[in-house]
Structure 1
Amino acid sequence: MNRTRRASVLAAAGVVSALVVTGCSSGEPDQAGGSASSEGLVVGYDSYFVGNTWSAQLEAEFLSATERESADIADVIVTQSENDAQTQISNVQSMIARGVDVIIVTPISPEGIVPALEQAAAADIEVILSASGAETDTYTSYINVDDTDFGATGAQWLVDTLGGEGRIVALNGIAGVPTSDLRYEGAQAVFEAAPGIEVVSVIDGGWDQATAKTSVESLLAADPDIDGVWSQGGSMTLGAIEAFEAAGVPLVPMTGEDSNGLLKKWSSLIAEGGTGFDAIAVAKPTWISAEALETAIAAARGEQVTKDNLLEPEVITSENLDEFVRDDLPDSLWVNTRMTDEEVVALFG
């Protein structure tokens, strides 16, 4: 497979590094519709963000999948948007100009990306939306967990666990990012239907452990009477736990995601017993990007693919925690993965 200037392969694990650069083919693909099918597909992938471990693993899952699907791929072009919507639009337009056969993209701005998607459709390029949607139906397939349902699932567990009564903190991701906004929208609907629940503070934690810890520490210093934490990110939940422990405030039920660091901490708290802590981890799998690649290949072959493939969020509770926690792998791992253990170690160290 011709992959000039493609991201390097990690020799120890056989996985393509998450620290990628824009790839290019040594030959020039056709400018309308990509390279000839006999030579394999030219795949364009925009990495919307690698600023946290989930988004880094999303990209790594895609790159790992390109190795598994290498028989169908002639070249892979990877761009970085660094969570900037205008950069992403330019990246997609560049892929169109280079004549890729398929584009896989995680829209940063659901509205802003629309003209670029329409340009791709006009060039007969298959477009797969991965992990985030767009305000248009001009795409081949959209693959995601329903983020509204994601937020509501954790919120309903928290309301039920608290018996419908309590003062809670909400930890969001990044304001304006669709994933964050939709998750909190789902949670809000649940909280508003539970009159005994009071949301005393809403914090933008950036899906970052240190940011969440600092913010929750400040909150607890002023108001330690907190009964529960709704968090839409595993790293933020871990930061919240650390903040409660540092403040000497008894732990409370918290929601989170399937990050291995959180699961390890959760497992250790269960072993200690009597902490007052319980949790649910709602999973949005990083293998969505691998599924997007498989869908893109199928669509390019002319196969029928699902237009809107919205997956049910999987949940981890104290009852099935032991099936998912990996004490032998790094904390940074998101456990619902298709990557091998060797690839995970190579990615996260």
Structure 2
Amino acid sequence: MNKRSVLHSVAAMAIISAVGILPGSPLFAGSKEIVYITPNINLSFWRYMSKGVESIATKQGYKFQALNSNDEARTQLSNAQDAIARGVAGIILSPTDSSTAPSVLELAEKAGIPVVISDIGTNSGEYVSIISSDNYEGANGVGKALAAALKAKGWESNSVGIVAVSQARKNGQARTKGFRDAMKEAGIAKEAGFQQLRSYTVDETFKFTQDMLTASPGMKGIFIQSDQPTIGALKAIRAARRQGDVLVAAFDGIPEFIDLLKSGDILVTGMQQPYLMGQRATETLFQALGGATPPKEIAVPVLVVTTENLESQLPTVKETVFANEGL
């Protein structure tokens, strides 16, 4: 066990002691509240997922609350403490990263509160089920679309950059591998650079992309593994006057992507279905609360949306990706 894990475990046990939880015993058997602990509710992906959780929880007659961790492990643990102290019926957890989830799972297990993990994953711990996107296949599909477009332009000998989500997240690892496997299969071997997102902001990705364009002037493609940061890449490409000269592939989606796909500014994006994921996670939690044993892993497909197939995909995208928000 590494130092970080030890600290998380010690913190978890301190919280258990502080709130007076007896190991293995649910706090309030009649609780009618579901809590969603999210990395950052200000990011559209997590907001859409939260709406999916809420839609099922309220339909079942339960109260609902989303607790924002602000991408901080300490805040996430505090949110878990608050939820357990209230004796919620169950928790949907989207951890800040896979290494921070075990401390929350430990708290919930001691309290006898079931947890369903929705996205990101965990390095260890007890949980009902993990609901995840098929990140490998989604990123692989994105890579294949980008590779085909590069080959069509005769750019297969040029380099491609990657701006990745944290590789401490299992979903980030899967996206990187899926994309790289597609590039390798297509014979596109040169990588212009590899950067990991930390703040997940437009400004951060603007700088990453700007640096790649400067260091690798022959870069003809870039893969951004998150939605809002993709806007930063597009701004950097425009600032360098490289529009049409660098093909942009993305992951996830925000409403602005619709027009960007139509215009060709974004060639392809692998759209997870966060609203649907939130629904599946909450349905799975209610199965467990009803005494059933759901599958340990449930994969939700990623929609590979391109300029060409956008119109046919749009009805599904509006509901399961954007939660009917902003369109």
TM range (shorter): 0.7 to 0.9
CA drift of 1:221 comes to 4.2
Mapped partners of 2:97, 2:303: distance in 1: 26
1:16 paired residue number: none
DSSP-derived class of the 1:125 partner: coil
Alignment gaps of 5+ in structure 1: 1-29, 270-276, 327-333
From 134, 158, 165, give the equivalent of 1:166.
158
**Which residues in structure 2 correspond to 1:14-29 (within 5 Å)?**
none
CA contact (8 A) 2:144 2:186 kept: no
Mapped partners of 1:298, 1:93: distance in 2: 24
1:201 paired residue number: 193
Q: What residue identity is the alignment partner of 1:229?
A: I
Per-residue CA distance 1:170-217 (angstroms, 9 max, x = gap): 122345344334322332344455554211112334443343234323
Q: What residue identity is the alignment partner of 2:320?
A: T
1:253 paired residue number: 247
From 245, 254, 258, give the equivalent of 1:263.
258
In structure 2, relative to structure 1, the CA distance for the partners of 1:250 and 1:84 (3 Å cut) is closer
**Aligned length, in residue pairs:** 296
From 290, 294, 297, give the equivalent of 1:301.
290
2:40 corresponds to 1:49: yes
Compare the two structures and name the one with the higher helix fraction. 2
DSSP-derived class of the 2:219 partner: coil
1:313 paired residue number: 302
CA contact (8 A) 1:64 1:339 kept: no
Identity of aligned residues (%): 20
From 182, 205, 208, give the equivalent of 1:215.
208
CA contact (8 A) 2:119 2:133 kept: yes
How high is the TM-score relative to the length of structure 2?
0.77
1:235 paired residue number: 228
- Which stretch shifts more, 221-230 or 175-184? 175-184
CA contact (8 A) 2:34 2:88 kept: yes
**Which residues in structure 2 correspond to 1:85-124 (within 5 Å)?**
85-124=73-112
DSSP-derived class of the 2:178 partner: helix
CA contact (8 A) 2:116 2:129 kept: yes
Q: What residue identity is the alignment partner of 2:78?
A: S
Mapped partners of 2:126, 2:167: distance in 1: 26
2:12 paired residue number: none
CA contact (8 A) 1:128 1:141 kept: yes
DSSP-derived class of the 1:133 partner: coil
2:312 corresponds to 1:323: yes
Alignment gaps of 5+ in structure 2: 1-20
Mapped partners of 2:188, 2:83: distance in 1: 51
- Which stretch shifts more, 225-234 or 87-96? 87-96
